[in-house]
Amino acid sequence: MTKLRYLALLPAAALVLAACGSDDGDEEAPDETTEATEAAGDAGDGLSGEGLTIGVSWNNFNEPRWAKFDEPAIQDKLEELGAEYISTDAGSSAEQQLTDVENLISQGADALIILAQDGQAIIPAVESAADQGIPVVGYDRLIESDQAFYISFDNVEVGRLQAEYIYEEVPEGNYVFIKGNQADANADFLRGGQEEKLLELSGCTGPLTTDNPDAECPIKNVGESYTDNWETSVAQTNMEQFLTQNNNEVDAVISSNDGMALGVIAALDAQGLAGSVPVSGQDGDAANLNKVALGEQTVDVWKNAFELGEAAAEIAVRLANGTALDEIEVTSDLGSSAPASTTTEPFTTPGEIDVWSIILAPTPVTQENLDEPIDAGAVTQEEVCAGVEAGSVPACP
């Protein structure tokens, strides 16, 4: 089913490809030198990308996020450091991406940033690049190879933050867990983080299953289910069933992402409960940030793609300058995404390989800091504040 869904995007992908192919040309050329000299002064430790070319292999530009947030962030940072940006788009094809990487190398890339379509299938390309002395940054998605540097957000932390903010509202009561697609490893990472945080905060022994042996535990799991394809309407139906089963005695809902949170909120609203039962989410979708402003969603854990792009660009330039994988550090100001450790740490992959990595911190967005995604340009104030009473939250005066 998941496959079909991606397949379904192909016709549109063809259109977008045609549009994207030609946009990264000579725009940066004119003021490159002036910018570069400034930048060389800017970076604290004298980092410079002067004369370097960084190649970025996108897997699928059809997803709006990459073109809208990630690419400009990488471009800006590279420009600041004086390096040149070149890119390819594989249009969701793992085979195409192998060719793309070769093309980037023959175009003279000194380091590569790869958003992998498939973290396994890309390995031959990564290894061949490494053999030619060209370092690789695995961007946002894990590449199962110790030759690639890994930069991403901490998915387990997303789960922890969701749990933390919901627990703050409801330290005792009936919890429902709306999990993601069972076939997606992230669904379990998220649930794992939620479990860890809830056990830590409540002091329960767990596991927090519906038949929790710890009868003293103040947190009762009264409903938990995976959601086919992270589908909004499936989450809604499941939530309706949980409300029925518990006679509306549900005090909090931990939903693993935003799409599902919308379904949950619709089910709660039909019972007049929207706004009185805390709900979590993830992704920073405009519709959900609006729900946060309206008070129907408690927290939306947001991954600031601008900061991810900025960090990746810096790392790529450092690697191209000859810094070893295990000596990488990030000095850019990453705001609320700043990682727990700005120096590199080993990350153990599901395939039991240690890769060098920097893992950024996701940003929990509540009514108090709605201005962060707005200021970053991820959403507009108009979208967030639609239908919100003026002055009820700081972001909507």
Output 7 or 185, the one with its CB closest to other proteins: 7
How far is the C-alpha of 105 from the C-alpha of 357, rounded, in Å?
23
Among the candidate windows 196-204, 279-287, 324-332, 350-358, which touches other proteins by CB under 8 A?
A: 279-287
Identity of the residue numbered 183:
A
How far is the C-alpha of 325 from the C-alpha of 331, rounded, in Å?
16
How far is the C-alpha of 332 from the C-alpha of 201, rounded, in Å?
33
Is 329 a residue that touches other proteins (CB under 8 A)? Answer: no
What are residue 78's phi and psi, to 5 degrees?
Answer: -65, -40
Is 266 a residue that touches other proteins (CB under 8 A)? Answer: yes
Among the candidate windows 119-127, 143-151, 238-246, 330-338, which touches other proteins by CB under 8 A?
A: 238-246
Among the candidate windows 50-58, 105-113, 241-249, 321-329, which touches other proteins by CB under 8 A?
A: 241-249
Is 263 a residue that touches other proteins (CB under 8 A)? Answer: yes
Instruction: Give the contact letters, 18-57, x = binds to other proteins (CB under 8 A), - = no.
Output: ----------------------------------------
- Helix (H) or strand (E) segment spanning residue 137: strand 136-139
Output 147 or 257, the one with its CB closest to other proteins: 257
Among the candidate windows 132-140, 160-168, 264-272, 360-368, which touches other proteins by CB under 8 A?
A: 264-272
User: Which residues inside 143-182 make contact with other proteins, applying CB under 8 A?
Assistant: 182
Beta strand 111-114 pairing with 53-58: parallel
For 323, the token pair is 């810094």
Output 228 or 329, the one with its CB closest to other proteins: 228
Among the candidate windows 130-138, 164-172, 242-250, 343-351, which touches other proteins by CB under 8 A?
A: 242-250
Edge to edge, the sheet with strand 219-225 lists: 219-225, 173-178, 252-255
Is residue 269 helix, strand or coil?
Answer: helix
How far is the C-alpha of 210 from the C-alpha of 271, rounded, in Å?
23
For 215, the token pair is 């009868």
Output 62 or 147, the one with its CB closest to other proteins: 62
CB contact at 8 A, 50 and 79: no
CB contact at 8 A, 365 and 299: yes
How far is the C-alpha of 336 from the C-alpha of 203, rounded, in Å?
28
Find the binder of other proteins among 205, 245, 331, 341 (CB under 8 A). 245
For 315, the token pair is 């790392």
For 327, the token pair is 């000596």
Output 170 or 222, the one with its CB closest to other proteins: 222
Is 238 a residue that touches other proteins (CB under 8 A)? Answer: yes
Q: How far is the CB of 180 from other proteins (least distance, A)?
A: 11
List interacting residues with other proteins (CB under 8 A). Answer: 1, 4-5, 7-13, 15, 62-64, 182, 210, 223-234, 236-238, 240-242, 244-245, 248, 258-259, 262-263, 265-266, 269-273, 276, 285-288, 290, 387
